[in-house]
Structures are given as C-alpha cells and as structure tokens.
Structure 1
Amino acid sequence: MSSIDNTRMDNSSSNASIMEVDEDEDAILDAEDVSSSSSTSSQIDTIKHSAPPLGRSDSGSSVSYIDLSKLLFASDFDFGLNIDHMSDSALKKLNNMKRKTQQTLTKYNKKQKKNLELDKLQEIFNQRLAKFDERIHRNLQSSSTEKLFYAVSIFIIAAAGFVIGKYPIYFPHFHTAIFVVLMPIRFYTYFKQSFQYYLADLCYYVNMLLMIFIWVFPNSPRLFVSVFSLSLGTLSFAVITWRNSLVLHSIDKTTSSFIHIMPPVTMFVMVHELPEEYVKQRYPGIAAIDNWNFMSAIIITSIYYTIWQVSYHYFISIRKKDQIENGKVTSFSYLRKKNQKTILGKFVNGLPYLWMQTLAFTLIQFGYQLLTMMFCPIWYKYKHACGAFVTFIFIWAAYNGATYYIDIFGKRLEKEVEKLKREIVSLQQENEKLQFSPLAKPQVPDDDVKPLGEVMG
C-alpha cells in the first residue's frame, strides 16, 4: 500500500489535499476544503486523470520488484504524479522528503554493510578457531595402529632382554624374525613415498651381510670381521650422527633405530654371550678369530665397503641420474643440503664438478668408516666394554626419542598457538580498519537525518 499525505497545493485562494490511496480500489482522490474556483477544479481533474492507477494485483500480472531505495535516488522519479502541475511549495516539500529519505536509507545501508563486515570477521575467526582445534588434535593424537605398535615395541624390547639373558643362542633367530617383519614394511613405505634410493644405503647393506653370515656363510671369518666392524663402527655411531630416535609409536622411526641398534647387539651376543662349544659348532667363522688383527680387519672391511660404494654409485648415481635430477632423494643429496653451511659441506658443494663432489663425499664417508672401526679391537676383546658401548647407543637412541616426544610435540603445539595469535591479530587489525573507515561514519550529520517513518509523516 502507498500513501501521499497532506500535500497541499497553493493556487490563489484554494487548497487541495491528496489523501491515502486504498489497496483495493483504483487511486481514489479525496479533496478537502475545495473552493468553488473553476481553476482549482481543473487542476484536480488533471492530476486525477494523469496519475497512474496504484493498486494490488495478483503475482501473475504484477511487475517485477523494484527496490524503493533505488527509486528514491532517481532525481526524476515523480511517485506516480505529474509534478509539472504541482506548486513550488508542494514540489519543494516533495523533494525535501525524497532527500531526507535518501539520507536515511544511505545511513541505514552503511550501518547494515558494517554489521555484515563484522559478522564476516566473526565467522572467519570462528572458522580459524575450529581449524586450530583440528590441527592440535591431529598433531597430538595417535591412531589405533600407532598405539598398538607402541605396545608391541615395548614387548619386543622386554622380550629381547629376556632372550639375551635366558636363551642367548636364539637371539639371532629373534633378530631375524623382527627383520623379516619390519623390512617389507620399510620397503613398501619408502617406495610409496619415493624414498626408495635410501634403501641402498650402507645400513641396509650391513644388515643384509649380517643375515648372510647367520644363515648362509657362518663359517666365513672375513665376512664376520666385516660385519662386526661395520656394525660396531659405522652403524653404531650413525645413531649419534644421524640422530636416530627410538620413537616407539612410529613404525618408521622404530625401524630406523632397529637397523642401527640390533646388528651391534646381535654381534655382542654372538661374540660374548654364546657358549664356546656352540660357537664352534654353529658359527665357526667367529671361533676362527683368536686375536683381532687391526690392519687385516681394515683391509677386509674396506673391500666389502668398496663393493657397496661402487655398486651404489653405479646403480644410483649413474643409472638413476635422470630421476635424481628430477627430484628423487638420496642420502648423498640429503647430506649435501643438510651440511651446506658446515665447513665440510661448503668444501664439497664448492667443488666445480659433480664427479668431484661425489668423490669427495665418498672419501669423507670412507674416512668416517675407518675412524669409527678403530675401537673394534676393544669391543671384540672386552665383553663389558662392548656391552657398555652397546648400552650407551641404545640409551642415546632412547634419549633422542624422549626429545622427540617432549620437544617436537611441544614445539608443534607452540607453533599452532603462535599461528593462531597471528591470525587473531590480523582479524583485530581488520576490525580496527573497519571501525575507522568511511563506512562506519555517516556523511550526513545525525541531527539532520530523521527516521524514515518520521520523514514520511
């Protein structure tokens, strides 16, 4: 329903009023206090016949909806009246009404827009809180598989101690059973993650040599010397240099600790815990070594090491060169990147050709192997020294695991909190900009703007 109230037309001595238009009838014009002047009657008839019919119709024949605020902004909108025949006073009042209505609607729209912006900021804030909570739960909670593997890992450690103390002759079998279970999992996960070239590293080579010695060539003293030197040399110290962590809920990290810790433990048991008669019968290669010959051990171990190093560079660095250049990760590329700020890293990366870098890396690694195996004569001769060293390596891996649990999880939580703080500060800054923006300040003084109902009245 639309209405026009108290719009007066001054013409000489006559006044005309246009009252409200009924919803159910065609624009009925009701004139009050109309004088007998013929000119006034003529004007009223003109307005009556020129005004378009205003009425309600069904939805099928009605025109599309028109926003009233847009009509008020149109300067030539005449509200269905022929304003050319209106007096200056009535036209002035009509324009004043349009202006105030326009100002009121402008202020209202700006307030609405501001409220919508604030609601949007609140919604964004709530969404980021929800994401923060989700990230925290995802980082801190463990799956059922991880919980189960944690329990299994504890049981394996306890069972290993029991087997070493009660049935040491079965410890190589115990080692083999765990190896058969974990290695297929490691191969599957590494191929799935495109880390398969890590499987050609020295630690896997030494584990395979140990399995070959136990089950294929137990009577080979040279193979035993090489396995003992590599196990209690490079593999043991790799726990320190590579920071292997005994994280019992993680299959990946526990497997990495297994392939570095179990070979030296098995060597300790086979050399110092097995009965002599059993060693002579089951592992004659160990019984054949009366005294550890340092130079002979270095030469024999170097031969086995060279076989691995040449095979590695041929099958990985040369045959798979294109795939490595396309992003496949190897231990060589990882160490180059990790140690690029160290003295050795700067030296290797500073060499002009790749083959020079590869050769330098190989020589450094070989020197590291020779350095770590210098203690092997002590580990072979003295049982308690060897046991203390193996225990130290296990404790070091356990300490790295504790660091992972305490520091890594704590740092993850701290990073998430800091990220949430930055998001909240960003939202606060956006809110402050919104409050002090022109949208928050009406361009028309509040005293000059009245409510729409008051203006229409």
Structure 2
Amino acid sequence: MEEELVQRSHASSFASSSEGDYAQSHEGQDDENEDAAGSGVLSDSEPNDADDFDYYQDVYRFVGAMKEGFQNRKISVDWETIQRKKAEVKEEFQRKKDEVTEAVISSKERIKEKSREKLDAGKKKILKLRKKTYKRLKAMEPEENYRQKVVFTKSVLTLVLKTFAVCSGQWLLPWYYAITCPTLIVWRIITYWQAQFQYFCLDFCYFGNLIILLILWLNPSSPELCSLIFSLANGMLYLGAFSFRNSLVFHSVDKMTSTYIHTVPILLSFGIRWYPEVTSRYWHASFPTEALDPSWQWNVLVPFLVMVTHSALYTLLVNVILQPEEHIVTSYRYLSAKKSIKRVFGPNPPYIVFVTVNWICSLFFSTLSMVFYSYFYFHVLGICVLFWFVTWNGAGYYFSVFRMSLATKNDRETDKEE
C-alpha cells in the first residue's frame, strides 16, 4: 500500500512539473510566433536545450525516487518473520502427517485385533461343533458302524462284479443294470424327498437312465436305439460325473448311488457296442451284432433333441408349475452356487444361461461320444479317465474325513487332560 502511494505521489509530481514546463515553453513559443507574425516573418526556432535538460532531469529524479522507494520497501520486509512462519507451517504439516499416519496404523492394529478375535471365536465354534459331532457319532457309533461296514462290503463286491462283467462276463451287464437301476432310483427318490432334495430327481441323469431302461426292455434289437443308448451314456451322463464330482466312497449309499447313475450306463453301452453277442446271450432279445456307422443323426442330433425335450419339460414343471421355495435346492441353484461357475458367469447367472450351457455341453459330448463309438481304445481310455476321477475324489473324501475325525479325537483328549 505504501509503495502504491509513493508511486502515485511521484507520478503526480512528475505530471504537474511536466505540464507546467510544457505550458511555459508553449507560452514562450506562442509569444515568439505572435512577434514573428506581427513582423510578418515566420520563425523556425529550434527547441530550447535547457528545457529539455530540465525535463530529463525530472524523469531521472522520478525513476530514482521509485528505486529508492522500492529499496526502502524491500528493506522494511521482515524476512525473519517470513522464515519463522514458514517453519511453523512446515512443522504443523509434519505434525498433521504424523497424526494421520498414527491414526492409520492404529486403525490397522484394531482391524487385526478384531480379525484375531473373530478367528479365535470361529475356532472355538468349530471346536464345539466337532465335540457335538463326535458325541453324536459316538452315540450312534455301533449301529452306524455296522451299517457302513455292510455298505462298504457291498460296494467293494459290486465293483469286483462290474469288473468281471466288463472284462469277461458281459452278459451280466443288462441284468445287473435292469435290476439295480430301478431299485436305487426309487430309494433315491424316497431319501431325497425326506431331505428336500427331490428336485434333483428331475435332472437329465435320471431322465437319460429312464430312456435307457425303456429301450433295454422294449426294443434292444434296434441299431438306431442302441446308438442312442451309447450317445446318452457317453454324452451327458459322462459329463454329469464330472459336474457333480462323483466319488467312490464305499460306505456311503448316497455317493455310491450318484456314481452308479453316471457310470454304469457307460459300462452297459461298452458291452452292447463292442461285445453284442456275449452281452445278449441271456437277455430277452438280441442286441444288433452289426452296429450302425457313426452318424450325426443318431449320435448327435437325436441326443440333442432328447436334451431339448427334457429342458422344456423341466422348465415347465419346476419353474412354472411347482416353483420350489428358495430353501429347496435344485440343480440350477446348486451349480450356480459353485465358485467355478461364479468365476465364469458371475453371481446368480440367469436360468437361460444354465439351459444354454447344457445344450452346448450336450452337443460337445455327443460329438465326443462319436469318437468313443468309432474307436475301441478311445472308449476304454474314456472309461479309465472317468473311474480315475471318481476314485481320486473318493480318496480325497476319505482323507478329509479321517483327518477331521483324528483332530476331533485329539481335541477331546486334550480337553479331558485339562
């Protein structure tokens, strides 16, 4: 502000002095012009050098005054105060930064502490559940152990029987399938109805087994229908074993039934396709000894139409007529809850996506079944891969159960010692 006043005062003094000098010089020039005019002679007088010198002196004085004012103003600034303020601001900024850093660290520590508390609480709950499970198993141990031993023995003997039937006694395959398949499916419907899993019994796996049973009893001599049996068994039923992670758990009737539904039709198709004469030796009708050549019609198109028909009936029955409640599990709800499905299609994929994926898989695995249908060793390889998968899953189940059981026993013994 003081600098502006100094500039304005100097500028006004310069302006007044210059205006005064300009007026005086012009008055003198006007007098001379009047004298010259009076005498009738024009004067070509040159500018007065003294006046120009005074004018420039005033300019120099004004500039000097401005410089002096600027120097005085510069000297009058308190640089120590500025430096002190700067240091205070820097110190305040550092203090705020330290406070924020400390707050973030303390917040992280609180979160970690809460996480530890929740983890400890979860471990305690798991321990309690293990104790309760152990007590329940202990209470029902005699009866349950006996039942599991019986189921285990039957499962192992059945596996031995299947191996013999596939390798040497193929005539056993149609009789074994025709008797055991309806029995296990009826038992599955009863138990699943009690557990509110009854909508699983409407899946394509059961629909495909029903069609195979009908063909087996009504017209097993038709080469076209035998090709359809092969494509259904080695197509979507083959895929179902992988989709539902079937496992050979010999003491579990439920898991062995699920494995049976997806694997035994494949063994039956193996006998019908590669050993038709031996397979039909004691059956009520003969299987075709000369199978059809692989064709898109019976190996791909017809199985796909069967899949589309099942999808239409399933959608009409489940989504339109019955409309199960949210707590009841269906195949769509079961598969859409899997992590692998969520990674690909996101959470809660639409039902139309589920149906479309089934159709695409049907086309793909029906095409794969053509390879199995054409080459014996490829079919054997496919069966080996399938049984390796279910055996691996069964091994994982057994190790998980045994490990959890061992941990429960150790925890119980530790509690007794304490």
Distance (Å, rounded) in 1 between the aligned partners of 2:242 and 2:266: 14
When normalised by structure 2's length, the TM-score is 0.61
Taking the TM superposition and a 5 Å limit, the aligned residue runs for 1:355-394 are 357-394=350-387
Distance (Å, rounded) in 2 between the aligned partners of 1:312 and 1:220: 28
Distance (Å, rounded) in 1 between the aligned partners of 2:130 and 2:196: 35
Taking the TM superposition and a 5 Å limit, the aligned residue runs for 1:55-134 are 134=135
Counterparts in 2 of 1:414 and 1:298: CA distance versus 1, 3 Å = same
- Give the equivalent residue in structure 2 for 1:330: 330
- Give the equivalent residue in structure 2 for 1:316: 318
- Give the equivalent residue in structure 1 for 2:20: none
Q: Which runs of 5+ in 1 are unaligned?
A: 1-126, 351-356, 429-457
How far 1:308 sits from its partner (Å)?
0.8
Corresponding residue to 1:175 among 166, 174, 177: 177
- Give the equivalent residue in structure 2 for 1:217: 219
How many matched pairs?
A: 288
SS at match of 1:168: coil
Taking the TM superposition and a 5 Å limit, the aligned residue runs for 1:379-418 are 379-414=372-407
Corresponding residue to 1:158 among 156, 160, 164: 160
Distance (Å, rounded) in 1 between the aligned partners of 2:366 and 2:412: 47
Counterparts in 2 of 1:160 and 1:420: CA distance versus 1, 3 Å = same
How far 1:375 sits from its partner (Å)?
1.7
How far 1:394 sits from its partner (Å)?
1.7
How far 1:418 sits from its partner (Å)?
6.9
How far 1:248 sits from its partner (Å)?
0.7
8 A Cα contact 2:335 2:341, kept in partner? no
- Give the equivalent residue in structure 1 for 2:199: 197
- Give the equivalent residue in structure 2 for 1:346: 346
Distance (Å, rounded) in 2 between the aligned partners of 1:379 and 1:301: 15
Corresponding residue to 1:244 among 218, 243, 246: 246
Distance (Å, rounded) in 2 between the aligned partners of 1:130 and 1:400: 26
* Percent pairwise identity: 22
Task: Point out the structure with max Rg over C-alpha.
Answer: 2
How far 1:372 sits from its partner (Å)?
1.8
Distance (Å, rounded) in 2 between the aligned partners of 1:295 and 1:234: 17
How far 1:327 sits from its partner (Å)?
2.1
1:198-242 Cα offsets, whole Å, 9 max, x none, are 000111111111111110122444433333112112212322232
8 A Cα contact 1:139 1:412, kept in partner? no
SS at match of 1:313: helix
8 A Cα contact 2:166 2:267, kept in partner? no
SS at match of 1:342: helix
SS at match of 1:275: helix
When normalised by structure 1's length, the TM-score is 0.56
How far 1:309 sits from its partner (Å)?
0.9
- Give the equivalent residue in structure 1 for 2:306: 304
Counterparts in 2 of 1:412 and 1:320: CA distance versus 1, 3 Å = farther
Distance (Å, rounded) in 2 between the aligned partners of 1:197 and 1:166: 38
Distance (Å, rounded) in 2 between the aligned partners of 1:129 and 1:340: 29
1:292-318 Cα offsets, whole Å, 9 max, x none, are 013553211111111111111111121
Distance (Å, rounded) in 1 between the aligned partners of 2:150 and 2:263: 22
8 A Cα contact 1:150 1:250, kept in partner? yes
Distance (Å, rounded) in 2 between the aligned partners of 1:342 and 1:128: 29
Counterparts in 2 of 1:140 and 1:397: CA distance versus 1, 3 Å = farther
SS at match of 2:346: helix
How far 1:263 sits from its partner (Å)?
0.4
Distance (Å, rounded) in 1 between the aligned partners of 2:406 and 2:138: 10
Is 2:250 the counterpart of 1:259? Answer: no
How far 1:387 sits from its partner (Å)?
1.9
Counterparts in 2 of 1:129 and 1:255: CA distance versus 1, 3 Å = closer
8 A Cα contact 2:299 2:366, kept in partner? no
SS at match of 1:235: helix
Distance (Å, rounded) in 1 between the aligned partners of 2:366 and 2:377: 18
8 A Cα contact 1:140 1:409, kept in partner? no
How far 1:132 sits from its partner (Å)?
7.7
Structure with bigger helix share is 2
SS at match of 2:235: helix
Distance (Å, rounded) in 1 between the aligned partners of 2:129 and 2:296: 64
1:333-381 Cα offsets, whole Å, 9 max, x none, are 111222486333317x26xxxxxx1211100111112122222122112
Counterparts in 2 of 1:306 and 1:283: CA distance versus 1, 3 Å = farther
Q: CA RMSD in A?
A: 3.3
1:43-93 Cα offsets, whole Å, 9 max, x none, are xxxxxxxxxxxxxxxxxxxxxxxxxxxxxxxxxxxxxxxxxxxxxxxxxxx
8 A Cα contact 1:238 1:260, kept in partner? yes
How far 1:407 sits from its partner (Å)?
2.1
Q: Which runs of 5+ in 2 are unaligned?
A: 1-127
How far 1:405 sits from its partner (Å)?
0.6
8 A Cα contact 1:226 1:304, kept in partner? no
Opposite residue 366 of structure 1, the aligned amino acid is W
- Give the equivalent residue in structure 2 for 1:282: 285
SS at match of 1:240: helix
Counterparts in 2 of 1:334 and 1:169: CA distance versus 1, 3 Å = same
Counterparts in 2 of 1:169 and 1:343: CA distance versus 1, 3 Å = same
Opposite residue 325 of structure 1, the aligned amino acid is E
1:112-170 Cα offsets, whole Å, 9 max, x none, are xxxxxxxxxxxxxxx99985862674798843111111111111111222233443123
